[in-house]
A and B are shown apart, each in its own frame.
Chain A
Amino acid sequence: MSGKTEALNKYFGFPSLHEYQEPIVDALLADTDTLTVLPTGSGKSICFQLPALMKSGLTIIVSPLLSLMDNQLQELRARHIKTAAAYNSFMSPEEKSRVLSRLSSLKLLYISPEALSLPFIVERLKTVKVSMMVVDEAHCISQWGHEFRTDYLKIGPVRQALGRPCMAAFTATATPEVQLDIKKQLQMEAPAEYIHSVDRANIALFVQRCTSEREKKKEMIQLVQKAPGPGLVYVSSRKRCEELKALLQEETSHRVEAYHGGLENEARLMIQQQFLHGDLDVVVCTNSFGMGLNKADVEFVLHYHFPKDAESYIQEIGRAGRDGRQAWAAVLYMEEDIIIPQMLMEAELPPVNELGSALETASGSRRGEITDDLINSMGWTETAARFLAYYLEKYPEKPGAELREELEKQVQQRWFEKQKKLKVMIQWLENSEACRRRLLLQVFGEALRKRPEPCCDMCGHRLPFREHQGAEKEKETAPWETRLQELFFGRERAKHE
């Protein structure tokens, strides 16, 4: 057995690496810079976790979302890997200093990009041997990527400060343009590249045009009722989430719950776990659900509202069919819905007419608190506030009027790019001739090599619903005494007593 496989067994309990994982792990063990584009669910984390555990020194993993960090850490903890920790602004001062004090015994440090750009953190990191830097969800680094985050741009300089350790970038969706940008920003000159097709052949693609909200609801109910699930229904807002959940509970025989940012932590976690364990058939969710959620047997992803660009779409439908079984994705498309991504996009950028007063607010802010101050006193979204904070830091010397002009230009530019991507998404939805798969791949600079069957509505295929299993759904009315016994001792023993 190779050292790799042995370590894989030991740490993760898997018999072998997937074929496509092998060369990536090898490259990282040999300290080669890498750029990997692999579909969601194919197992990117292991590609860097395994070499990180095998190498000496610390691997820094920059991760965009708190929930993603949490998820990966939890999975590592569940596997009793104790040399991993996270550092982010949501931790208490005590937790933070505890992590920093054990840096030298850590193998994996998950860190938010904001934290990584703090000078004192960089100083602390300089005191240990950093063997590798990993950027997960690396499309965030590119202004052409769908979740552009300005604080990602500081990773390159930090790498320099830490003595240029080996750099690895991972993402599920990156157009050729985004790939170029990632390499440039991370200062990777000639990385080994592992670019796999974004195509998921086992997910059939459908778009259903609707002319009214009523029709959409009717379609949704029909599709969900026909599909045994498990499935996800994506909507744009918390309110809609709750509304459609109630509707599906009423109109279908499925066990349905809603998941969105407005739920309490405990409830959110419970619903995620219930879905994971098959206690739920359908979750109606906003796009905060599913990030890092590994459920293999998802049958469908239904978009009640479509996302703002093709990258997000690929990302979201990628939660279906990870076990390789036939799955499907469908969008219920109504022309009027275009206003939703448009509003979201608008909120992600600083409002041009508020730039003047925002600059005033920011000039009274302490360093590092600009973002928070803008969110609190201007009511801006986090993305918009970050955007401004980034440019303020980038041009500290520019006089007010000039800075404002520059900012206006930047905002316009971003708006224009976002509109362009939305247009691509709309064109894809409105297409009524060509194969949807071929068009979607085109967006990513790929050609369709082999048409699967079923492929899409344009290829004349029907939705491949799975068979309903006759299994009876658990009745939840066991008396509390029985329930309590099951909780402690398990079903078997509870049954016998």
Chain B
Amino acid sequence: MLFQEAMILIALKRLRGERTDASAYHLLSGKRSSQTITDAKWFQSKDLFGALPALDKPQFESITSSFYQRGWLEAGGVPGAEASAAIEPREKIVEEAGFDGWTYRDTGRQFWRRIALLIQTLSHLYQQKKQFVPIIQDVAAQQWVKRKLGAWGPEKYTVMTRLYEEMTDCLHELKEVQAFIFAYRLTGAETLGKTTEQIARLQGMEKAEIEYLFQGTVHALIKKAETHPGTVLHECLDAGGNPQLTVTAEKTLDFINKGLSLEGIAHARRLKESTIEDHFVEIAGEIEGFSIDDLVPPEQQEAIRRTAASLDTFKLKALKEQLDSDVTYFAIRLALAKGGEKGERKNRSAE
């Protein structure tokens, strides 16, 4: 089975038939919408968010429809027994790869550019080769490396050795193949990096899977770096992680901070109230200090979470039917967004 086919089945399995098939597509292709972001969170599927960035809708649809025909997908969009068995090895890979596109997609891109350019530059300096074409063209990364080198001054070779040791340690903790991919993507003074496709050929694997594992390695390195201040890898991060909001939700947050009500924001932004509600849900899930107590009384929040846990579902309709009639859909979504992370899931081992 192709990597992308397996990933689609894994996504559908996680969604447990509680969302449309298209939600799986949005999740895998990594479209940043309020709904996808909350899905990624509720269904503990950050490791699928943006896992197949090149997937397009027609492709997705033709793959799922062939699965329905083969009986691998049952009505309601849940993988059957045969399909479930077939994706098991891939599920294991996904669980162990360290990929977290939901949290690290953008940071990951920046982190990689910095690391790749830093290593290329340091290795050239160390091996006394001055002229080279930077493998990373991004101006921000180039300026960052320049600043760092200036700050380290003559210490830079010590820093380089430390970075080498840190990376060796980190890579040792990962799967062999992931360490291989990462090491071969990098460019040094004497050794040019390989493209994802070239590595895929060396490993006899698919390009999409190599790319996923590569990103997973980057995300794992960031996770490590975040918890280890004082390391060189930590210095490659930006100070103060910024929450991952869509641009439009970010604007709504500005208005919230100015003290506007939901209706007031909708009016000011000339957007529908339901759209602003989506933003609230996104913000509630993303910003820890954002309290929803004014919108949903705490005891109602509790009731919603309890019901979700006992029914073991995130299906809004099912929850709404169980709860008091004065509990709105908006309240349910808010409460789940806030509490979604803590909610244990039964059919999947915790990370």
Task: Give bound CA distance, A257 to B123, whole Å.
Answer: 26
Asked if A471 is an interface residue, CB under 8 A from chain B, the answer is no
Closest A residue to B163 using CB positions: A488
Beta-carbon contact of A270 and B195 below 8 Å: yes
Asked if B323 is an interface residue, CB under 8 A from chain A, the answer is no
Beta-carbon contact of B171 and A273 below 8 Å: no
A-side contacts of B139, CB under 8 Å: 92, 95
Task: Give bound CA distance, A480 to B188, whole Å.
Answer: 14
Could you tell me which residues of chain B, from 160 to 176, have a CB within 8 Å of some CB in chain A?
Answer: 160-161, 163-164, 167-168, 171, 176
Task: Give bound CA distance, A359 to B204, whole Å.
Answer: 53
- 0/1 string, B166-202, CB within 8 A of A gives 1: 0110010000100110111011111111111110001
Asked if A265 is an interface residue, CB under 8 A from chain B, the answer is yes
- Whether A270 contacts B193 in the complex (CB less than 8 A), given A484-B167, A484-B171, comes out as yes
- Whether A488 contacts B184 in the complex (CB less than 8 A), given A79-B131, A274-B192, A476-B202, comes out as no
Task: Give bound CA distance, A359 to B119, whole Å.
Answer: 52
Could you tell me which residues of chain B, from 108 to 134, have a CB within 8 Å of some CB in chain A?
Answer: 119, 122-123, 126-127, 130-134
Task: Give bound CA distance, A271 to B133, whole Å.
Answer: 12
A-side contacts of B188, CB under 8 Å: 486-488, 490
Beta-carbon contact of A490 and B133 below 8 Å: no
Task: Give bound CA distance, A481 to B180, whole Å.
Answer: 8
Beta-carbon contact of A477 and B202 below 8 Å: yes
B-side contacts of A401, CB under 8 Å: none
Name A's interface SS: helix
Beta-carbon contact of A273 and B133 below 8 Å: yes
Tell me, rounded to whole Å, the shortest Cβ–Cβ distance linking B125 to chain A: 11
Asked if B136 is an interface residue, CB under 8 A from chain A, the answer is yes
Task: Give bound CA distance, A269 to B120, whole Å.
Answer: 14
Interface range, A side: 20 to 34
Asked if A489 is an interface residue, CB under 8 A from chain B, the answer is yes
Beta-carbon contact of B136 and A480 below 8 Å: no
B-side contacts of A80, CB under 8 Å: 130
Beta-carbon contact of B127 and A490 below 8 Å: yes
Beta-carbon contact of A78 and B183 below 8 Å: no
Beta-carbon contact of B196 and A267 below 8 Å: yes
Beta-carbon contact of B133 and A269 below 8 Å: yes
Which of B119, B179, B182 sits near A488, CB closer than 8 Å? B119
Tell me, rounded to whole Å, the shortest Cβ–Cβ distance linking A260 to chain B: 13
Task: Give bound CA distance, A497 to B132, whole Å.
Answer: 26
Asked if B135 is an interface residue, CB under 8 A from chain A, the answer is yes
Beta-carbon contact of B126 and A270 below 8 Å: no
Asked if A277 is an interface residue, CB under 8 A from chain B, the answer is yes
Beta-carbon contact of B131 and A488 below 8 Å: no
Task: Give bound CA distance, A232 to B176, whole Å.
Answer: 36
A-B contact pairs, 13 of them (CB 8 A): A78-B133, A92-B139, A266-B135, A270-B187, A273-B133, A480-B171, A480-B179, A486-B191, A487-B191, A489-B123, A490-B188, A490-B190, A491-B190
Apart from A270-B194, A273-B133, A480-B183, list 10 A-B contacts with CB within 8 A: A78-B132, A78-B133, A267-B195, A273-B135, A277-B192, A476-B194, A480-B180, A483-B183, A486-B191, A487-B191
